[in-house]
Amino acid sequence: MSTIRAIRGMNDILPDETPHWRRLEQVVCRLLNSYGYGEIRLPLVEHTELFKRSIGEVTDIVEKEMYSFDDRNGESLTLRPEGTAGCVRAAIQQGLLTVPQRLWYAGPMFRYERPQKGRQRQFHQIGVEALGVASVEMDAELILLCARLWRRLGLAGSVELQINSIGSSAARRAYRAALVEYLSAHRAALDEDSQRRLDSNPLRILDSKNPDTQALLDAAPVLADYLDAEARDDFDRLRELLTAAGVAFVVNPRLVRGLDYYNKTVFEFVTERLGAQGTVCAGGRYDNLVEQLGGKSTPAVGFAMGMERLVLLMLETGAAGDAAPAQADVYAVAVGEDAHREALVAVEAVRDSLPGLAIVQHTGGGSFKSQLKRADKSGASVALIWGEDEVRAQSVTVKFLRDGAGQGDKTGQRSVPRDQLEATLRAAFAD
């Protein structure tokens, strides 16, 4: 019989790692609350059309990376490859756009890509979207919020902020034409991938990893020269605000976006420590998307973080700390049917009065020896033991498993009358 394995690129996250995920989620959730962002929960599946219209028909994501399928009624649905489209769709549909909205969400996204370090087919993002505010102060707020998040997570020293402005779509169109004209004249000098991009997505050539291509770009037209006045003013103002707030940044004039809906401000937080997939958080302004999806014209800006990458980075840098998987405080051992019954009842009573204690009740029988072995492995500092003697005497044996010098009465073991169990445990876990 062959075993069934997980889908390639869709990974299990085991109890070793989930505490780090939980910490990340908790820190993010608290931080976003403190900035006035509300959580929104969105479907994993949307009409395929939503992503075609938002991300762009000719992007790689839409052309070859989406998990699309026909529903039973024949319409094409898609597992969301990113969160912004669904969030904007919901904001329009639910009438949230009458006032500025600060929203966030977290969850799995799906892209059919070749897995590698920091990249899988089911991955998890936390997305933040601010809808209805055109002013660049909103862009700054989001970046400041990110910077604070890195500080809270202990990652501030591990990431670098890169910013750029890609201007209005008209400005970009003009620049694209100039860039294509320049690069076409040097077509032969371009690497194979960039030659292909010359037709499909010329701006993407700017962040090519090929050194020869990068060298060729040194003499190419510069995006900044093509920016409209408004975009240029906003970008100046953004730099002023970030500087005033003490947030370090690098202007990367070749920073562009893979998704079509972005304009003006774009930004990324990148790290050197994760190999090739160094972008840990990326976003920008998308003032035309709401209208493109059928809503009334509404400016917007947002970003998304890759949770796998952040957890990796936390582990890599030691910022993850020693968050341990859930461990027991108390392990209950019982041998014999009567003892099991006594133990069950007593442990449930303790759960009522001391709800904060993690108590594992041994199941599956076995000798005192094997059960105590389990107790030790569980990490519990106290074992409660029931056997024939305890049943007869209406008592329980309390055994301290983590004896230490100076622990006073928290060493060895002793017999405690059944009705004093709760008080004994309360004292044992007082600190």
Site residues, RNA (CB under 7 A) = 5, 8-9, 11, 59-61, 65, 82, 111, 113-120, 123, 125, 193, 197, 201, 204, 207-210, 257-259, 268, 275-277, 279-282, 304-306, 308-309, 335, 366-370, 372-373, 375-377, 383, 385-390, 397, 399, 401-403, 413
Q: How far apart are CA 219 and CA 201, in angstroms?
A: 20
State the minimum distance, in angstroms, from the CB of residue 256 to RNA. Answer: 8
Q: Which is nearer to RNA, 113 or 160 (CB)?
A: 113
State the minimum distance, in angstroms, from the CB of residue 341 to RNA. Answer: 15
Q: How far apart are CA 172 and CA 224, in angstroms?
A: 10
State the minimum distance, in angstroms, from the CB of residue 387 to RNA. Answer: 3
CA distances to 97, 121, 139 from 100, rounded to whole Å, are 7, 33, 14
Contact between 132 and 97 under an 8 Å Cβ cutoff? The reply is yes
Q: How far apart are CA 128 and CA 369, in angstroms?
A: 53
Residues 6+ apart with CB under 8 A from 292: 53, 54, 261
Residues 6+ apart with CB under 8 A from 376: 401
State the minimum distance, in angstroms, from the CB of residue 141 to RNA. Answer: 19
Q: Which is nearer to RNA, 71 or 389 (CB)?
A: 389
Q: Which is nearer to RNA, 120 or 168 (CB)?
A: 120
Q: Which is nearer to RNA, 100 or 114 (CB)?
A: 114
**Closest Cα to residue 136, out of 33, 234, 282, 249?**
234
State the minimum distance, in angstroms, from the CB of residue 211 to RNA. Answer: 11
Residues 6+ apart with CB under 8 A from 114: none
State the minimum distance, in angstroms, from the CB of residue 389 to RNA. Answer: 3
Task: Please give the structure tokens belonging to residue 73.
Answer: 């009624």
**Closest Cα to residue 308, out of 277, 331, 335?**
277
Beta bridge partners of 359: 330
Q: Which is nearer to RNA, 18 or 122 (CB)?
A: 122
State the minimum distance, in angstroms, from the CB of residue 425 to RNA. Answer: 17
Contact between 171 and 231 under an 8 Å Cβ cutoff? The reply is yes
Residues 6+ apart with CB under 8 A from 377: none
State the minimum distance, in angstroms, from the CB of residue 381 to RNA. Answer: 8
Q: Which is nearer to RNA, 229 or 345 (CB)?
A: 345
Phi, psi of 375 (to 5 degrees): -60, -45
Sheet-wide strand order for 330-334: 359-361, 330-334, 382-386, 395-400, 413-417
State the minimum distance, in angstroms, from the CB of residue 7 to RNA. Answer: 8
Q: Which is nearer to RNA, 14 or 99 (CB)?
A: 14
The amino acid that residue 233 corresponds to is D
Report the interhelical angle of 337-353 vs 421-428 (nearest 10°).
60
Q: Which is nearer to RNA, 321 or 412 (CB)?
A: 412
Beta bridge partners of 77: 47, 69
Q: How far apart are CA 374 and CA 185, in angstroms?
A: 73
State the minimum distance, in angstroms, from the CB of residue 351 to RNA. Answer: 22
Q: Which is nearer to RNA, 72 or 114 (CB)?
A: 114
Task: Please give the structure tokens belonging to residue 19.
Answer: 């505490």
Q: Which is nearer to RNA, 48 or 210 (CB)?
A: 210
In terms of DSSP H, where are the helices of 14-108? 18-34, 48-55, 60, 84-93
State the minimum distance, in angstroms, from the CB of residue 75 to RNA. Answer: 25
Q: Which is nearer to RNA, 37 or 262 (CB)?
A: 262
